[in-house]
Amino acid sequence: MSVEKLHFLKTGRCGVAAWMLDTQNRPAGMLDLPIWAYLIETTDGPILIDTGMPDEMIGKPDLFTQPGREPEIVPRMTADDTILAALGRAGYQPSDLLCLVNTHTHFDHSGGNRHFHGVEVVIQKAEYDAAIANRGADPSDFWNDAGLNYRIVEGDVELVPGVRLLFTPGHTVGHQSVLVTTPKTGAVLLTVDASYCRANFEDGIPFAGADEGLELQSIAKLREIAKAEQAFVFYGHDTVQETQVDTYPAAY
Ligand SMILES: [Zn+2]
């Protein structure tokens, strides 16, 4: 088995308070961030990384806004932004997948999980255990569906030749990033939310998460891997970088 192509899939946008990307300087205002899923085509079938936001956020930007308070999270989603629509544009449906990888259980990464019954969902043990422990208490409970078949992994693992899962806790307790090696581009490091943006990764600016110290340790680990692999590094929610990559049908 080998990796053939990597595609970037856009799955909507989300407004977030700017301080969340820089908890040191805490700038005021809101940012409008891209939400991504990633499709890896292999000789044995496609692998999907993350499932975007849940369908019930379509046309509901005020879902998280408390009356009388400044909004901090504003999902901007249309029917075209669902994971099924994005996957469909690439010519696939869930049953075509070799497997699905969940980088973590936040709503903008596992929101569409429920559409993937019958597909193996690969998640880190620490992330799964924490999700189980917080079940019901966390508003982003979209990972939690009785029909889902989770496959638990622990630490850094080779998912298939050319796709490595990297344990990068900090943003959440069991976050994982993905290193993909493609024939066209070579190594591509999808930090996902181990770095929201370039400043987190390159300048070590801490950002919103469960444990900022652990975030910086995971970034140090990823920087070493990126250097050793001479990887193209793609961040989880970077508004500059989103203008520099091409989405499906472009392939990397
Ligand atoms: Zn995210």
Q: Distance, CA 235 to ligand 1 centroid (Å)?
A: 10
Q: Distance, CA 192 to ligand 1 centroid (Å)?
A: 7
Q: Distance, CA 34 to ligand 1 centroid (Å)?
A: 9
Q: Which of 194, 157, 197 lies closest to 174, judged by CA?
A: 194
What mean pLDDT value characterizes the chain? 95
CATH, domain 3-243, list 3.30.70.260, 3.60.15.10, 1.10.287.1080, 3.10.20.30: 3.60.15.10
40, pLDDT greater than 70:
yes
Which of residues 146 and 224 earns the better pLDDT score?
Answer: 224
Domain ranges of the chain: 3-243
Res. 139 pLDDT band, cuts 50 70 90: low
> How far is residue 239 from each of residues 42, 60, 179, measured CA to CA in Å?
29, 22, 21
Helix (H, G, I), strand (E, B) or coil at 199: helix
Q: Distance, CA 228 to ligand 1 centroid (Å)?
A: 26
Res. 218 pLDDT band, cuts 50 70 90: very high
Q: Distance, CA 15 to ligand 1 centroid (Å)?
A: 11
Q: Distance, CA 233 to ligand 1 centroid (Å)?
A: 16
How do residues 123-138 score in pLDDT, each as one tens digit? 999 999 999 988 877 6
The percentage of the chain sitting over the pLDDT mark of 70, rounded to a whole number, equals: 99
Distance CA 17, CA 176 (A): 24
Query: DSSP H helical segments within 115-211, as ranges?
Result: 125-133, 198-203
Q: Distance, CA 45 to ligand 1 centroid (Å)?
A: 26
| Average of per-residue pLDDT across 224-235 | 98
37 - beta bridge partners?
Answer: 9
| Average of per-residue pLDDT across 213-239 | 98
> How far is residue 87 from each of residues 4, 75, 134, 199, measured CA to CA in Å?
17, 20, 30, 30
How do residues 152-163 score in pLDDT, each as one tens digit? 999 999 999 999
Residues, CB-to-ion distance under 5 Å, ligand 1: 108, 193
Q: Distance, CA 113 to ligand 1 centroid (Å)?
A: 15
| Average of per-residue pLDDT across 172-196 | 98
Q: Distance, CA 195 to ligand 1 centroid (Å)?
A: 9
